[in-house]
């Protein structure tokens, strides 16, 4: 495959040209083939490390991911959280604004949630506290996202690097507060907040811990799909993403779109932070976002920024992660194994995009194939 | 105390210097390689795997072959980082994949790779050692100049480091001379600024991108090796390397893409990383304030980023085509 770049002295061995849009089903065949190829490579690697038969291993993975009803719930919860962050970064990406600061935005949202729960937990009645928690977390994350957006809009500051740095500033701020509020003092851990009164905890539907989170994210998925696809805002985002000059020419206020979209992006990260802190963990650590801010970028990109496909891509990644964690438990290996698997799958899917966007023709196979 | 502070700051700064020198070289070719943190992990663990296998195969530990003891981890580290660089180049240059996504995937993969082998190496080779401690290898990697201690503070500040530290400084100087003063560097910068123009001038864009990214990865990988073998005295512990990879990327911006400034910048960042340990003696501080001080390098970087975008000076801008794939027929 390396030969595709090497150019012969006289004529190119391989010709690469941009494809006119492939029919939808064909591009999906290529993507599915890429996923299958990555699963085969993963299987080979797993066999190398464990010496077990690959089919048995995939059975172990499937059991690890969906073996019991508790595991299914935890899988769905994992998908919902990853999907929520992915939804958050998508509007910005569609605008070609590389918001890789979701990690920090989620943390700031979570921190706002936690601080409301700690400071007002036993002072305000829950019908005041819950709305306050929700508003605070969304606002905190939105402001965190607004900072790089303003500089991008006015001075064209490189947003990739800016948002990246903002992650670590947020992580340190969270660390700071985990020491201030740590229980017991100085331990550096907050522990479960308001364990007795459950003040500021999101309500539980029936006896299903994660159901509310999942329903909220499902509703958001549909909402973002409609927003991006059918609303005027969504159209403006798409135009700015395709060409800023076109957008200016047809009278779109690019600065306004950038700032508005990043506010939305941050607000959704705030929701993710809220669901993680108030709806799931009931505490905050510097690992609350857990790398989802970065994984979400890959989820969103792999799904071509389509919220409905993002359900599939986040399911694939979370499924493989849970399965790989199970393998490492069974075989006594380190659980970072799942990161290796994730990496390999993403490499393959990223690579497959090339064959969707470009057609490759080999010279030796006669020119007849050329159209 | 100031002398020992500077000494520790330099030790902290060297991995960052390796990382940022490698990343500057890569970015000058227009590739924004966000996989650097992962590459540094892979560089570190590859060296560890190599020397772990070698140390365990030694029958007589009292009389090892010093050349092999140094060469094996070094080559393993370079090889591991080279493979990472090749994956990145192949996906972004040949297959024109999105650089941010590829880089982040590479970081996920690399950190996972490091922690996986760090945590499972002992199980996998079925030995009975309790932890990965490469005291022999580390002894030679951490060897300082023999006369350093006789020269008082001068010796401690300037001479008391291992060979990899001097190599880091040397590589930063060499990269900065190559980028600024040679034709090779000029071509490379042309590729990063405007690949179409470079292509028209007969410069092989793909070759330049491949070379810069792969050499850059190998330099960055050495940062991981230096950290394990010298700074951490040959003890690998998972996640100990922390966010130094991202700090290295921050340093790239802080130095406005100039490796020679990176030498001082890395010491400054290294100092900011550990300053809370020393300030305790002057102003007593609690744990929470220390966390805030660790924020400083990132805040400084953001400020630099904002200032250079406001001033719009040509010399201090990021390479113009940074982050964009190049396809000849797109023009």
Closest Cα partner for B85 from B119, B54, B39?
B39
Q: What is the pLDDT of residue B90?
A: 93
Pick from B100, B116, B250: CB nearest A337:
B116
Domain coordinates of chain A in residue numbers? 72-207+235-297
Cα gap A228→A204, rounded to integer Å: 31
Q: What is the pLDDT of residue A9?
A: 42
Residue B124: exposure state from Cβ atoms within 10 A (0-12, 13-18, ≥19): middle
Q: How many CB atoms are closer than 10 A to CB A287?
A: 10
B123 vs A contacts (CB less than 8 Å): 332-333
Pick from A169, A180, A351: CB nearest B288:
A180
Verify whether the Cβ–Cβ distance A297 to B101 is below 8 Å.
yes
Does residue B116 register a pLDDT over 50? yes
Cα gap B85→B79, rounded to integer Å: 10
Cα gap B114→B120, rounded to integer Å: 10
| Residue A205, strand partner residues | A208
Closest Cα partner for B233 from B48, B75, B65?
B48
For residue A362, what is the enclosing H or E element? strand A358-362
- Does B331 or A287 have the greater pLDDT score? A287
Average pLDDT of every residue of chain B: 86
Q: How many CB atoms are closer than 10 A to CB A304?
A: 14
B275 vs A contacts (CB less than 8 Å): none
Q: What is the pLDDT of residue A366?
A: 47
Give the pLDDT confidence of A294-337 residue by residue, as tens digits.
Answer: 889 988 988 888 999 999 999 988 998 888 888 888 877 777 88
Pick from A175, A334, A346: CB nearest B291:
A175
Closest Cα partner for A272 from A263, A280, A261?
A280
Interface test with A, best of B34, B80, B88, B104 (most A CBs within 10 A): B104
Residue A126 tokens read as 């829950």
Interface test with B, best of A190, A296, A346, A361 (most B CBs within 10 A): A346
Number of domains, chain B = 1
Verify whether the Cβ–Cβ distance B97 to A354 is below 8 Å.
yes
Cα gap B253→B265, rounded to integer Å: 10
* Cα three-residue angle A156-B320-B211, rounded to 5 degrees: 140
Q: What is the CATH number of the domain that holds B28?
A: 1.10.3470
Cα gap A208→A335, rounded to integer Å: 27
Contact A355, A18 (CB under 8 A): no
- Please indicate if any CB of chain B lies within 8 Å of the CB of A45: no
Does residue B204 register a pLDDT over 70? yes
List Cβ neighbours of B43 (8 Å cut-off, separation of 6 or more): B77, B78, B80, B81, B218, B220, B221, B222, B223, B224, B225
Give the pLDDT confidence of B148-194 residue by residue, as tens digits.
Answer: 677 777 777 777 788 889 999 999 999 999 999 999 999 999 998 88
A49 vs B contacts (CB less than 8 Å): 120, 124
Does residue B242 register a pLDDT over 90? no
Residue A70 tokens read as 């508790």
Give the pLDDT confidence of B77-107 residue by residue, as tens digits.
Answer: 999 999 999 999 999 998 888 888 899 899 9
B105 vs A contacts (CB less than 8 Å): 298, 342-343, 346-347, 350
Verify whether the Cβ–Cβ distance B94 to A1 is below 8 Å.
yes
- Those residues of chain A that have pLDDT short of 70 are 1-13, 186, 363-371
Contact A92, A148 (CB under 8 A): no
Cα gap A45→A225, rounded to integer Å: 37
The ipTM assigned to this model is 0.85
Q: What is the pLDDT of residue A208?
A: 78
Domain region containing B147 = 2-330
Verify whether the Cβ–Cβ distance A346 to B309 is below 8 Å.
no
Cα gap A161→A332, rounded to integer Å: 38
Nearest CA in chain A to B290: A176
Pick from B115, B116, B309: CB nearest A157:
B309
Q: What is the pLDDT of residue B330?
A: 67
Residue A1 tokens read as 């495959």
What mean pLDDT comes out for the span B35-63? 87
List Cβ neighbours of A287 (8 Å cut-off, separation of 6 or more): none
Q: What is the pLDDT of residue A260?
A: 93
Query: Distance from B188 to chain A by nearest Cα, in Å?
Result: 18
pTM: 0.88
DSSP structure class, residue A331: T
Q: What is the pLDDT of residue B223?
A: 94
Contact A225, A300 (CB under 8 A): no
Q: What is the pLDDT of residue B237?
A: 82
Closest Cα partner for B152 from B4, B14, B8?
B4
- Please indicate if any CB of chain B lies within 8 Å of the CB of A353: yes
Cα gap B241→A140, rounded to integer Å: 30
């Amino acid at each position: 495959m390396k030969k595709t770049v090497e150019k012969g002295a006289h004529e190119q061995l391989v010709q690469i040209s941009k494809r006119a849009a492939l029919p939808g089903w064909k591009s999906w065949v290529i993507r599915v083939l890429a996923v299958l190829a990555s699963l085969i490579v993963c299987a080979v690697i797993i066999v190398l490390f464990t010496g077990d038969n690959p089919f048995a291993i995939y059975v172990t993975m499937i059991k690890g991911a969906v073996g019991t009803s508790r595991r299914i719930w935890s899988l769905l919860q994992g998908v919902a959280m990853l999907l929520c962050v992915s939804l958050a970064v998508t509007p910005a990406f569609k605008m070609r604004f590389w918001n890789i600061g979701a990690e920090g935005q989620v943390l700031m949202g979570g921190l706002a949630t936690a601080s409301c729960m700690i400071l007002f937990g036993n002072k305000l009645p829950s019908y005041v506290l819950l709305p306050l928690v929700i508003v605070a977390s969304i606002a905190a994350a939105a402001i965190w996202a607004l900072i790089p957006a303003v500089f991008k809009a006015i001075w064209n500051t490189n947003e990739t690097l800016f948002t990246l740095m903002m992650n670590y500033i947020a992580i340190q701020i969270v660390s700071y507060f985990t020491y201030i509020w740590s229980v017991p003092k100085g331990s550096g851990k907050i522990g479960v907040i308001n364990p007795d009164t459950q003040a500021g905890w999101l309500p539980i539907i029936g006896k299903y811990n994660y159901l509310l989170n999942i329903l909220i994210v499902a509703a958001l998925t549909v909402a973002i799909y409609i927003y991006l696809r059918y609303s005027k805002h969504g159209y403006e985002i798409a135009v700015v993403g395709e060409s800023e000059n076109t957008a200016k020419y047809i009278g779109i206020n690019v600065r306004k779109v950038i700032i508005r979209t990043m506010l939305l992006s941050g607000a959704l990260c705030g929701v993710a932070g809220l669901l993680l802190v108030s709806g799931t963990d009931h505490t905050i650590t510097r690992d609350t976002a857990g790398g989802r801010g970065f994984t979400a970028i890959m989820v969103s990109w792999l799904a071509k920024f389509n919220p409905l496909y993002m359900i599939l891509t986040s399911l694939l990644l979370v499924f493989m992660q849970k399965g790989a964690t199970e393998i490492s438990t069974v075989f006594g290996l380190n659980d970072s194994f799942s990161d290796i698997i994730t990496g390999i799958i993403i490499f393959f899917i990223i690579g497959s995009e090339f064959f969707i966007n470009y057609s490759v023709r080999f010279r030796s196979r006669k020119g007849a194939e050329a159209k | 105390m100031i002398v020992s502070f500077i000494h520790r700051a330099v030790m902290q700064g060297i991995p960052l210097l390796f990382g940022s020198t490698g990343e500057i070289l890569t970015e000058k070719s227009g590739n924004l390689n966000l996989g650097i943190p992962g590459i540094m992990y892979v560089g570190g663990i590859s060296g560890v795997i190599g020397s772990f296998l070698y140390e365990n195969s030694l029958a007589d530990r009292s009389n090892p072959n010093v050349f092999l003891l140094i060469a094996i981890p070094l080559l393993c580290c370079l090889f591991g980082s080279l493979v990472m660089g090749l994956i990145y180049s192949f996906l972004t240059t040949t297959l024109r994949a999105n650089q941010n996504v590829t880089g982040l995937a590479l970081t996920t993969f690399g950190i996972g790779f490091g922690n996986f082998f760090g945590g499972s190496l002992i199980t996998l080779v079925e030995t009975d050692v309790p932890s990965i401690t490469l005291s022999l290898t580390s002894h030679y990697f951490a060897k300082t100049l023999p006369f350093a201690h006789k020269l008082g503070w001068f010796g401690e500040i300037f001479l008391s480091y291992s060979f990899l530290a001097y190599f880091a400084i040397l590589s930063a100087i060499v990269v900065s001379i190559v980028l600024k003063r040679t034709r090779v560097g000029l071509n490379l910068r042309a590729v990063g600024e405007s690949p179409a123009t470079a292509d028209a001038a007969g410069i092989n864009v793909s070759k330049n991108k491949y070379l810069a990214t792969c050499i850059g990865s190998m330099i960055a990988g050495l940062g991981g090796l230096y950290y394990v073998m010298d700074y951490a005295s040959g003890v690998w512990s998972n996640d100990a390397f922390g966010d130094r990879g991202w700090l290295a990327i921050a340093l790239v911006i802080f130095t406005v893409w100039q490796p020679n400034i990176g030498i001082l910048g890395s010491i400054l960042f290294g100092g900011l990383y550990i300053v809370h340990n020393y300030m305790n003696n002057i102003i007593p501080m609690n744990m929470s304030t220390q966390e805030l001080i660790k924020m400083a390098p990132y805040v400084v970087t953001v400020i630099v980023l904002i200032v250079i975008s406001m001033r719009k000076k040509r010399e201090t801008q990021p390479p113009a085509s940074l982050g964009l794939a190049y396809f000849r027929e797109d023009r």
